[in-house]
Amino acid sequence: MSLVNERIERRETVQKKYCRFKKYGIKYVDYKDPDFLLKFLNEQGKILPRRITGNSMKFQRKVGTAVKRARHLALLPYVADGLK
């Protein structure tokens, strides 16, 4: 196979990312729900970027604010060795 055909096949197998907040009609990101916020953190406790989560810009900002508030209240760790 040529390189072009491999790229086209690879592109077809990747699912389109979507904003789960828009899809499920979530209007408020609750900072008091650490289990939900863990979906937006990697193993070290860092906030995942939009290009990985698929969030819209509006909700990515809200997720960042909610994670920072949860960290401040000690609901989430600032740094973790093996969070998941």
Instruction: Give the pLDDT confidence of 37-48 residue by residue, as tens digits.
Output: 999 999 999 999
CATH number at residue 58: 4.10.640.10
In-domain check, residue 65: yes
- Please count the structural domains in the chain: 1
In-domain check, residue 49: yes
What is the per-residue pLDDT for 9?
A: 65
Q: What is the pLDDT of residues 53-77, one digit of tens each?
A: 999 999 999 999 999 999 999 999 9
76 is in which domain, residue-wise?
17-84
The SS3 assignment for 41 reads strand
The pTM of this model reads 0.79
What is the per-residue pLDDT for 30?
A: 96
What is the per-residue pLDDT for 17?
A: 83
> Please, is 59 exposed, middle or buried when counting C-beta atoms within 10 Å of its C-beta (0-12, 13-18, 19+)?
buried
pLDDT over 70, % of the chain: 80
